[in-house]
Amino acid sequence: MFRRFCILLRCACFLSAGFLAAQPEPSPVPPVAAVKPVTLEKFGHARIDHYFWLRERDDPEVLQYLQDENAYTRTVMSHTQALQDTLFSEFRNRVKQTDVSVPYRMKGYFYYSRKQEGKEYDILCRKKGSLEGREEILLDQNEMSAGHDYFSLGSWRVSPDGRILAFAVDTVGRRFYTVLFKDLKTGSLLADRIPSVTPNMAWANDNRTLFYAQQDPNTLRSYRILRHGLGDAAESDKMAFEEKDETFSCYVTKTKSDRYLQIISTHTLATEWQVLDADHPDRPFRTFLPRRMGHEYLLDHHDGHFYIVTNDSAKNFRLMRTPEKRTARSVWEEVIPHRPDVLLENIEVFKDYCVVQERKNGLIQLQIRPWSGAGSHYLDFGEPAYMAYPRDNHEMDSRLLRFLYTSMTTPVSLYDYDMQSREKRLLKREEILGGFDPANYRTERLYAKAPDGTAVPLSIVYREELKKDGGNPLLLYGYGSYGASMDASFNANRISLLDRGFVYAIGHVRGGQELGRSWYEDGRQLKKKNTFTDFIACAEHLIREGYTAPDRLFIEGASAGGLLIGAVINMRPDLFKAAVAAVPFVDVVTTMLDETIPLTTGEYDEWGNPNDRPFYDYMLSYSPYDNVEPKTYPHLLVLTSLQDSQVQYWEPAKWVAKLRAVKTDSNLLLLKTEMDGGHGGVSGRYKRYREAAFQYAFLLDQAGIGK
């Protein structure tokens, strides 16, 4: 592993196709970060971190360095401005700029949102009784965002009687929200104000008690649930629960039946639920089932019973139930048994039906199960790769299941499915303007062979006329962490790549949960490298099958997916032309040893605890920052946000500084820091169009496509 460190001050030659001729003379000089060595020791092993100082967020020298990098990036990318403008126009003109969402019914009201041409944010509305009623504007986010460079509306909850709206707002990007209250009858804000909390909240049935979650100001771990009574000062709010185990976080929710409030304590590999009669918010919560490491379960309520999705003696989970007053494990009875080839992900309960969300062969299935026991069946989606899940089903007494469906060639579509008649009705499909025809595109499901022989799924989309001659630019996306499954879905912006000859692919690598619980377990902790070798196998398979070639292959990942990008360009830099790493988690060892920041104690079961020598050594063997070496790297665009609360900006900043000093090539290396963004980047749809246009311009430029 490379330990020697040096600073190379040099001008970039920028040899990418079509780039040199377009550059002004002289070529811009990349910024050089100051070297301030800090020795980090563990187990008698010393690491020299020359850029540890970049973590001082308020240091003027740090801010100046980030601004210098931004200025350099703007200069280097200035020749693509016309392309960026073209892409922005394509994104904007491809979707309807004035539009209305499909209303959903909840407690006598129809709720929906509106977009207006030229406005950054949605307007939230409702109508009482019917869609012909008078429109009531709940929140106009465009007015609320005035004067703020960043604006995020977190969750919002209407009191059971429909009178009071509680909503959470963040105007910085650090995910510290202020909860406000609006009287929907008068249209006025109440004096109540709860600052510096999470957006997680739930109403009790008395219409005046709101439960909410508060985070630790340093680690951002959600660790307390408090009660707020309307009219009371936030300082007097009483604590309902405190999660003292630093490896757990806690949240509050409510059963769909409205019968129970619930507190969920979550750990990577364990959960514990507490319940409280929502009619009596002043009483204490009672534990449903005490936590046990390795036991994960979900909970909902229906007709006097709790229904439990549990992995107890069931790696891929099974469905159990128990009377609401008798929750001991010995009382549970099985409803759906464990199946080794099917992952049971969730349930949606109705008065007469239970909808079971499952995953088989990497694809979501929706099973309709009448409580009567007769007539169980599955929905048929008819495509090789897709995404589908229940959405906006707030009414228990309904035989209509609303679900979202999309694929790589099918825009986001919302359906109502009559569970009794088995009739499906399309309510709305995202309208793609500009002559989009799904028949012009083809989607496939492929399988790559990992080094250990495992078949790794790939979802892929391209223009119908594609020739598999190795000459196509291809963008391969990956994530592979936390058991998060990356399903094949539609992205209107992506058409701008496909229509310029790109292939787009998703590698469903281990660390996700596409192929069941084992798929996740084989890509975490001491098996984390499977995620990286799976991704490399996907790349090699796409090359071998003629979809692309190494000098035409581009890769992308964000957050933990950015870790994936950092790892694979260390392992196989020869395999890729260019990479985009967004908010990348690349300084794994240093971060996981620092218990004062997010992404540490609560995630030991995801990455391992580096205070244990085996985990320390293993993390050190793949951590992108620690494994930068003097060799040729692909062209690289790194994106971060100064206010990111999940992956701190200094991780990508340090990584870029080290790469710039050590790598031996003259390939492009760009760092772009959003000074007013969060983990998800900028806020506002037009700002996001601009950001996407910038990223696409980088890819197209490296592919030699200038228009």
pLDDT at 151 over 60: yes
Query: Whose CA is closest to 577, among 557, 553, 541, 603?
Result: 553
Residue 277 catalytic? no
Strands 222-229 and 238-242 turn out to be antiparallel
Per DSSP (E only), the strands in 218-341 are 222-229, 238-242, 249-254, 260-267, 270-277, 286-287, 297-302, 305-310, 318-323, 333-336
Catalytic residue among 192, 487, 626, 644: 644
Residue 280 catalytic? no
pTM: 0.90
CA atoms of 286 and 324, how far apart (whole Å): 12
Once rounded to an integer, what is the mean pLDDT over residues 254-264?
Answer: 97
Catalytic residue among 237, 679, 683, 701: 679
Q: Both tokens of residue 668?
A: 């492009």
pLDDT at 603 over 90: no
Catalytic residue among 265, 485, 489, 559: 559
Q: How far is CA 423 from the centre of its chain?
A: 33
603: phi then psi, degrees, rounded to nearest 5: -125, 20
Cα angle for residues 335, 341, 345 (degrees, 5° grid): 55
Confidence of residue 7 (pLDDT cuts 50, 70, 90): very low
pLDDT tens-place string over residues 206-219:
999 999 999 998 88
Cα of first residue to Cα of last residue in the chain, in angstroms, is 42
CA atoms of 674 and 454, how far apart (whole Å): 39
Residue 225 confidence (pLDDT): 98
Once rounded to an integer, what is the mean pLDDT over residues 4-9?
Answer: 28
Would you call 104 helix, strand, or coil by DSSP?
strand
Confidence of residue 123 (pLDDT cuts 50, 70, 90): very high
Residue 26 confidence (pLDDT): 59
Residue 682 confidence (pLDDT): 67
Strands 553-558 and 578-582 turn out to be parallel
pLDDT at 653 over 70: yes
Residue 599 confidence (pLDDT): 64
Ordered structural domains, the chain, with CATH: 38-92+435-702 (3.40.50.1820)
pLDDT at 21 over 60: no
